[in-house]
Structure 1
Amino acid sequence: PDKDYWYIPGLWHGNPPMAAVNIGYSQKVVELKQCVLDHFTERNASTVTQFIRNFTNLWNAVKHENFIFSFRNCLEVDAYNDLSVKYSDLEWELRKMVYDFVDKAQKRIETEEKNPENLLAVLRNELLEVMETTKAEVIKTLEDWFSAQNKKAHLIQDYKDQFKMNIDILCNKLEEESHKQLKKTVQRQEGRKKLHDIKTKYNKLIEDKVNLLVQSLRQKTKDQDESELHQAFETMWAEAILSLEIYQPKVANIQLDMETSLRENMKARASILNKKLPEKSLDDWGKLEFEINERHIAVRSLSDRAWRYVHNIYKESKKETDVLKCCLKEPRKQAEILITKSKNEMKTIIQQEMDYDPKYCKTFLRHVDKILDCEFPTFSFTEKFRTYFKLHICGIGIQKFQEIHDSFRQKNDPLQSFEADKKFYKQIFVNLYNQKDQSQSCAKLYLDSYIKPAMIANLNQKLGRAIVDYIKSTQNAEEFKSRRNLQVGIMLDLKKKNLFDDYYQYIDNTHKFEKDWVEEQVLRYCENSEQEATLLHNLAMDILEPAVHSIQKAIRDIDTHKELTAWTFLTEFRKAMEGIIVLPQDKFTNQDIVRNAPCFVDELKDLANGFKNDLSNTIKGWNVRSKVSELPVAPWKLLYDMLSGCGEQCPYCGVLCDCTDHNHEMHSANYHLPEGLRGYRWSFWKSLVTNSCSDTSYIALRLYREQDPWLKSQLSISHTWV
C-alpha cells in the first residue's frame, strides 16, 4: 500500500530563480521510477507504445503536480470504460430478450378471442420467470468478467456491486414497462373485439342480401349484362347500408375535458383563468406563439434597482430594448425546452390504435407540473408564467388529442369499413351470378389484403430493434459502445467537419445535438449499400424470410385432402401462424364464396412461392429515411437512451451528466466546458472566463454574462453536482 501513494517534494528551496534545488525532489523521483520499473518486471510484458504512454502520463503528473491524472487513475479510467462497454452489451441482450417476449406476447393477446384479460396474468408470470433466468445469466457473465484473467478488473472491483444494482434496477424498469405495454395491448384487443363483433354481424347480413340478389336474378329468363348487374348491386348495397343500425363511435368534447382538468389543476389561479379563457378558447391559445416578457421571470441575483431600470425602459418605450432582449434570452431558450419536453410527454401518454380517453388531460397536466418544477441558477419562472404556459401547452394538447380521436373514429367507423369492402362484395356477387370459380381471385385477395399487410406490420415492429442490434454488434460502430465512446465520436466528427455552426449547436444545446447526431448516423448506416441493396433492405429481408418460410410450410402441412372448406383451411392456417403474424378473420365467412377448397389452397401455395420476391420489390421501393422515421420503434431513440446519461445539465457550463447508472444521486461529468463558452466574463477586465465551472465553483467570482448584464455574482454550483 505504501508504494501506491507517493509524496514528491517541491523542486525549489525558496522562490526561483535564485532558490536552490531541493535534493529530496530528485531522490523521490528516482525512487518512484525504480518502483515503477520493479512493478513492470512483476507484471506481464506490455507493448512499447503502452510503456511510453504510461511513463508519459506519470511524468506529466509529477511535473505539473496534477495527481488526479496519475498513472494508476489512467488505467482505472480505461478499465472502467471497458466495463461500461461490457455492461452496455449485457444491457442490450437483456432488453432484446424482453422485447422479443413482449412481441410474442402481444401476438398471443391479439389472437385471443375469448378473454385476453385472463391471458395477461399468465403472460406476466411467464415474463417474471424469463426475466429471472436472463437476469441470473447476465449477472453471471458480469461475475465472469471480473473473475477472469482480466489485467484491469482488479482496479475497479469497487464498481462491481454498483453494476449489479444497475442490472436489478433495469430489470424492474423493463418489467414495469412490459406490463404496461401488454395491458395496453389487452385494451386495444377488447376494443377491436367489439368492432369485430359488429362487423361480423353486418357482414352476415350483407352476404345474405348478396345471395338473395343472385337467386332472384337467376330466376329471370333474361341474362343480365355487366351494366345491369352493376345497377342491381348498387341498388341492393344502398338499401342494405340504410337498413343497418350502424354503430358510430362516440364524439368526445376534448376542449371541455381539458378546460375542466385545467381548472381543477389551477384552483389557486381560477381568477386568471376566468379572465383569459373567455378572451380565447384553449384551442386558440395553443395556436399562438408562446411569448415571454419581463413579468414571467424572477431574477435571483439581480438588484432591485437594476431590474426596475429595465422594467421602466420597457414600460416607457412599449417595446423590447436590447438590454431586455439579453435578459430574456436564456428564459426563452429554457421555455422552448419545457415546451419540447411537454410535447414528448404527450406522445408517451397517447396509446397506439386507442381512442382518446378523458384521463389523458389530467395525466398530461401532472406531467407538465413535474416539468415546470425545474430550477435554474440565475432566474426562476413566476406563477404568471406557469399560468400562460399551461394555457399554451393545453391548447397544443387539445389539437393532438383531437387528431388521434378523429383518426380512431375514422378507422373504427363500420360504415367506412363497409365502403372499403364494397369492391370485394361486388366481385363476389358477379362471380356467384356467373357461377365462376373464385379460387384464384380469392387466393390473391387473401394474400394481398391479409397476409401481406400482416407481414409488413410485423416487419415494422421488429425493424427498429434489428437496426440497433446490427449497430451494436458491428465492429465499425465503436462510438455506440459506451457513453464515453459516443462523446469521443461526436468530438472527432466536429473536428473533422470544423464548422462553427456545429460547434455552436453542440455547446448551446448538447442534448438535442447528440440526439440529432445519433439519428443521422443511424440513417447513414441504413443507407449503406451491401450486395447491391441497402442495409435496411437486407435487415428487412432477414426478418421476413423466416416468416415467409413459415407461411409456405403451414400451407403445405395442412391436409387439403380431407373434407375441408376454405373457411376451415383459413382457420387452421391462422392458428398455425400464431406467434409469427396476426391474421384477421372477418371475411370469407360465406361458404359459397370459395367452394373448391383444394383449388384455393393450390392457388395460395403458388402465390406464396413468389411472395418473397414480391416483398423484396416492395422494400426496394422504400425511401430509407422516410421509412426509418416512420417505424413505431425509433432505432436512434432506443440507441441514445442506452448511451445518454440522466439528461441533467450542469447549471453553468451546460454539459450533460455522464452517469448512466439508474440510481445515481449526484450528477457528474468527465469534462466541464470553460464558462466563457456560455458568455461569462471577468467583471473587472471583461475578458471571457477560460476556467471551467469545476475550477471556479469554490471561489466567489464577480462575473457577468454578455447577454445578462444584470448578473452580478455567480451562484455556487448546485449541491447535486460534483
Structure 2
Amino acid sequence: MKEKLSKYYKRKDRRVNLIEKYKTDFFNSINSLTNEIKQSACTKLDCVLELKIGLKKAQDIQKEYRGEIEERVMKLLSDCKDSKLSDNQLKQEFEKMWTQATETVPPLKERDIPACVLNQLRKHFSNRNVNEKLQNIELREIGKDQFKTRSDSFMEKVQYWWKGDLQHFADSVIQTSKQFVLEKTKTNGDYHESFTRDLLEKIDESLKQNVTRYKPNTQFEVDLKLHICGIAAREFLKMHRRFMSGNDPRIQLEKYKTQYFSDFLDLYEKKDHCQRKATDFIRCCIRPAVEEYINRSLGIHIVDEIVTSSASAEYSSRSYFQYNIQKELLQKEDFENFVKYTCNYEIYVKNWIFQHIQQKMSEDKTLCRLKNENLLVIVERIKKATEQASKGKNGVPLPDTKESITQLINNMRKYLIKDISISVEAEKTTLFQIQSTCHTFTKSLIKSLSELKEQLQEEFSNSEDIIETLNRLPNKPQDELFKRVFGCGQQCPFCKVPCEAGGKEHEQHHAAVHRPQGLGMVRYIDTEKLVETLCTTDVHSEREFSNTDTKEEWHPYKDYRVYYPDWHIPPDSTIQASDYWKFVLVQYNDRFAQEYKAKPADVPEAWRRITKEQALKGLKDAFNIK
C-alpha cells in the first residue's frame, strides 16, 4: 500500500497536488491499519492456540476410550459369533458393553473463570497501588445489583460552567461493556484472557475521553471496573461451561454409539456396509468442516453483498453514513433514539447496522443464497479433491484394496488443506473396521457428498434464523461495517460529537456538524439549565472555558488548541450546518432536560423558527450531499 501510494504521488497528474496536504494522513492510516492487523492476528492466534490446547486434552481422553471401545466391540463380536442371537439380544449385549467401557470416562476440568478475570484485573491495576482493594473479593457476587456512585465528592463543581452526571456516565460505560461481553460470548469458542484485557482497555478509552467532564477518581474507576468484571465473569463462565459441555469426551463418544452398534451388527451379520460408512464419514468428518467453511466465508460475503448492493452508498464513507443515520433520526421523530444516539453512540450505531444487515439478508432470501453459493464452492472442491485423491502420484488409480482407503483420505487432506480441516479422530472412528475396497468407497463417498449438498440446501431454505447465524459467525459482518463508519472513537472535548476521520492515526480530529452542548448532558452549575451554545460558535467568541485540562483556570475558547491541538473545530458564528441540532434541541428541550435531570436550555428565539426542512438542508450542506 505504501509503495502504491508513493507511486501515486510521483505522478505528473495535475490533480495530485490538490491532495498533497493529505499525504501524511494517508501514510499514517496505512501504519495504523498495519498495527491493527498485526495486533488482531496475534490475538486470534493466541486464542486459537489456547483453544487447541484445551481441545487436545478432550481429544486425548476420547482417543484413549475410543481404543478401549473398539477392543471391546471386537471381543464382543468374537464372544457372540458362534451364538445365534436376535437383534434385540445383540443390542442388550452391546448396551452392557458400552456402559462398562464408558463409565470411567473422566469429565474435563472446569477452569475458575472468575478467578482468571480477577487476576487480569489485578494485573491491570498492578502499578496503581490499589491491589489491597482487590483482595478477598468474590467476583461471582459482584455486579448483581445496580451500580451506584459513592458520592459527589469525585466531581468538582465549577461555577458558571457545566457539570456532568457521573451516574449517567457509569451507566453508559456499563451498557457498552455488556454489549462487548455479549458479542464475545455469543460465539461457540472458549474464554480467553484477551477478552478481559480488551474489555478493560475499552473502559479505559471511555474514562480517558470523559475525564474532563466527569473527573472520576481512582476509587470510582476501581468500583466501576470491579462491577463490570463481575458481570463479565459470570457471562464468561457460562461461555466456558457451554464449551466444556460441547467438547466433553463422554458426550463426544456418545455421538458415535449408534455407529459402533451398526458396525457391530454389520460385522456380526457379515453385511456390506460401504455406503453406510461413506455416509457416516460425510456426516461426521465432512459436514462439520463444510459448515465451518461456510460460516468462515459467510461474514465476508455478507459485507461484500451489502457494500455492492443498493445500500452501498450508506457505507461508502463515514460522512455519508453520519448524514444518513441523522436524516433517519429526524424523519422518525423518536426522542428515545435521539437520546441513544447522543449518549450511547457506539451501541446505537452497532444496533443500527445489525438491524440493517438483518433487513438486507431477509430480502429475497439473500442469506440463503449466500450460504448456497459458499456450499456449492466447497462441495465442488471436495468432489474434485476426492477424484484427485483416488489417484497416485502418476495419475494411476490407487490399488483397489481396503488399505488404500487410508491413503485416499490422507490425499484428500492434502488437497483440501487450504479450505477445510478433516478431524483425524472422527475419521478413525467412522472408518473403524471398514471392509470395503477403495474404488467402491470412493464412489459411495461422492454419492454421499451429493446427498449432503441437497440436505444442507434444504436446511438453508427451511431455516432462516438470521440473528442466530450472524451471532455465531467468526467474522461478524456487523463489526466489519462498524469499523468502516465509526471513525477513531474520539469525541469533541466540548459537545462530545464523534470524530469522523478514519483510522486511529490522523493529525486532526474533526466533525462536520457540532451540537449544542446541552445535548451531551452539559448544564450550567448555577442555573442547572442545559447549555445551549455550540462549540463552533464559542471558538469564534470571547467566551472562556474551565475544566481539569486547564487546571480549573479560565481559558479563551478561541485558543482551545492550546489544550486540544489535535482537534479542528471550525470557528463560525453563523454556521447553518448545526440547524439540525438546533432544531432537535428546540423540539425536545423539555424532554432532554427531564432525561438529564436538568432545566430546559434558554434557546435563542431565532432557533424556534428553524423548520424541519431547514434542519435537513443544513445537514445536507454540512455533509456536501447533493
TM-score (norm 1): 0.67
Paired residues for 1:83-162 under 5 Å: 136-137=3-4, 140=7, 143=9, 153-162=16-25
1:215 paired residue number: 78
Q: Following TM superposition, by how much is the alpha carbon of 1:665 offset from its aligned partner in structure 2, in angstroms?
A: 4.8
Matches of 2:528 and 2:107, distance apart in 1 = 69
Letter paired with 1:226: D
2:99 paired residue number: 238
Deviations 1:171-197 (A, max 9, x none): 343234224433443443344445434
- The answer to which structure, 1 or 2, has the higher relative contact order (CA under 8 A, 6+ apart) is 2
Check the 8 A contact 1:255/1:283 in 2, yes or no: yes
1:562 paired residue number: 399
Letter paired with 1:411: G
Check the 8 A contact 1:302/1:712 in 2, yes or no: no
Q: 1:403 to 1:700 in 2, by over 3 A?
A: farther
Matches of 1:299 and 1:563, distance apart in 2 = 85
Q: Following TM superposition, by how much is the alpha carbon of 1:507 offset from its aligned partner in structure 2, in angstroms?
A: 3.2
2:485 pairs with 1:655: no
Cα RMSD for the two superposed structures: 3.8
Q: Following TM superposition, by how much is the alpha carbon of 1:408 offset from its aligned partner in structure 2, in angstroms?
A: 3.4
Paired residues for 1:196-345 under 5 Å: 196-220=59-83, 223-242=84-103, 246-259=105-118, 265=125, 268-269=129-130, 277=137, 281-295=138-152, 297-301=154-158, 330-343=165-178
SS in structure 1 opposite 2:173?
Answer: helix
Q: Following TM superposition, by how much is the alpha carbon of 1:657 offset from its aligned partner in structure 2, in angstroms?
A: 0.8
Matches of 1:154 and 1:451, distance apart in 2 = 56
2:323 pairs with 1:488: yes
Q: Following TM superposition, by how much is the alpha carbon of 1:217 offset from its aligned partner in structure 2, in angstroms?
A: 0.3
Q: 1:658 to 1:414 in 2, by over 3 A?
A: same
Matches of 2:439 and 2:157, distance apart in 1 = 82
Q: Following TM superposition, by how much is the alpha carbon of 1:575 offset from its aligned partner in structure 2, in angstroms?
A: 2.4
SS in structure 1 opposite 2:255?
Answer: helix
Check the 8 A contact 1:701/1:713 in 2, yes or no: no
1:593 paired residue number: 434
2:392 pairs with 1:553: no
Q: 1:143 to 1:432 in 2, by over 3 A?
A: farther
Q: Following TM superposition, by how much is the alpha carbon of 1:550 offset from its aligned partner in structure 2, in angstroms?
A: 1.2
Letter paired with 1:158: K
Q: 1:269 to 1:442 in 2, by over 3 A?
A: same
Check the 8 A contact 2:159/2:525 in 1, yes or no: no
Q: 1:445 to 1:591 in 2, by over 3 A?
A: closer
Check the 8 A contact 2:163/2:213 in 1, yes or no: no
Q: 1:552 to 1:135 in 2, by over 3 A?
A: farther
Q: How many residues align?
A: 545
Deviations 1:83-139 (A, max 9, x none): xxxxxxxxxxxxxxxxxxxxxxxxxxxxxxxxxxxxxxxxxxxxxxxxxxx664566
Check the 8 A contact 1:440/1:600 in 2, yes or no: yes
Letter paired with 1:563: D
Letter paired with 2:441: F
Structure 1 unaligned blocks of 5 or more: 1-133, 307-325, 705-710
Check the 8 A contact 1:467/1:635 in 2, yes or no: yes
Check the 8 A contact 1:298/1:381 in 2, yes or no: yes
Deviations 1:451-479 (A, max 9, x none): 12211111111111111122223354212
Check the 8 A contact 2:25/2:506 in 1, yes or no: no
Letter paired with 2:399: K
Which of 333, 336, 340 does residue 505 from structure 1 map onto?
340
Check the 8 A contact 1:295/1:382 in 2, yes or no: no
Deviations 1:277-317 (A, max 9, x none): 4xxx32111222212243463134159xx9xxxxxxxxxxx
Q: Following TM superposition, by how much is the alpha carbon of 1:642 offset from its aligned partner in structure 2, in angstroms?
A: 1.9
2:275 paired residue number: 440
1:535 paired residue number: 366
Letter paired with 1:238: T
SS in structure 1 opposite 2:459?
Answer: helix
Q: 1:387 to 1:436 in 2, by over 3 A?
A: same
Most deviating of 478-487 and 641-650: 641-650
Q: 1:700 to 1:427 in 2, by over 3 A?
A: farther
Matches of 1:441 and 1:298, distance apart in 2 = 72
Q: Following TM superposition, by how much is the alpha carbon of 1:355 offset from its aligned partner in structure 2, in angstroms?
A: 5.1
Letter paired with 1:601: T
Q: Following TM superposition, by how much is the alpha carbon of 1:610 offset from its aligned partner in structure 2, in angstroms?
A: 4.1
Q: 1:219 to 1:714 in 2, by over 3 A?
A: farther
TM-score (norm 2): 0.76
Deviations 1:636-672 (A, max 9, x none): 2111112221112223322101121431254221221
Letter paired with 1:282: L
